[in-house]
């Protein structure tokens, strides 16, 4: 499993369900040593697009989700498909120890549906 490179205190709230990256966030796709690195640059606004009706179950401000959300949004901005970006999203959630049932539900949502 991969992991983040020096995540630290990398983002801050930007209003509503939006956040601003204040430091670069890098993720090595696949496994450590793959050489496939994606970086969310500082200054990028991203969000945790969780529909209002289920925010009681999936809090968009849960810190365990934010890195995965930033990576997913960055990959979509770069032209990745929803399915491919969703796979990276799932791996990032796993690295942040999000329980399996939540990961699967969130992966399905970002891979198959568009809320924005």
pLDDT tens per residue, range 36-93 = 899 999 999 999 888 788 888 888 899 999 999 999 999 999 999 999 999 999 999 9
How far is 35 from 39, CA to CA, in rounded Å?
12
Query: Does 39 or 9 have the greater pLDDT score?
Result: 39
Specify which residues 38 forms β-bridges with.
Answer: 27
Specify which residues 103 forms β-bridges with.
Answer: none
Residue 59 CA: distances (Å) to CA of 5, 33, 40, 76, 82: 25, 32, 22, 22, 22
pTM of the predicted model, to two decimals?
0.89
Q: Tell me what the pLDDT averaged over the chain comes to.
A: 88
Residue 24 and residue 39 in contact, taking contact as beta carbons nearer than 8 Å: yes
The percentage of residues in the chain with a pLDDT greater than 90, rounded to a whole number, is: 59
Residue 25 CA: distances (Å) to CA of 48, 52, 71: 16, 27, 8
User: Per-residue confidence at 116, pLDDT binned at 50, 70, 90?
Assistant: very low
Q: Where are the domains of the chain?
A: 4-112
């Amino acid at each position: 499993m991969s992991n983040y490179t020096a995540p630290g205190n990398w983002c801050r709230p930007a209003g509503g369900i939006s956040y601003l990256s204040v430091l670069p966030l890098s993720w090595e796709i696949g496994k450590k040593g793959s050489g496939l690195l994606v970086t969310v640059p500082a200054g990028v606004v991203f969000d945790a697009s969780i529909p209002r009706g289920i925010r009681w179950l999936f809090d968009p401000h849960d810190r365990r989700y934010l890195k995965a959300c930033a990576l997913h949004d960055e990959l979509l901005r770069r032209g990745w498909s929803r399915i491919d970006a969703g796979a990276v999203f799932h791996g990032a959630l796993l690295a942040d120890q999000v329980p399996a049932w939540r990961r699967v539900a969130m992966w399905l949502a970002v891979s198959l549906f568009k809320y924005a």
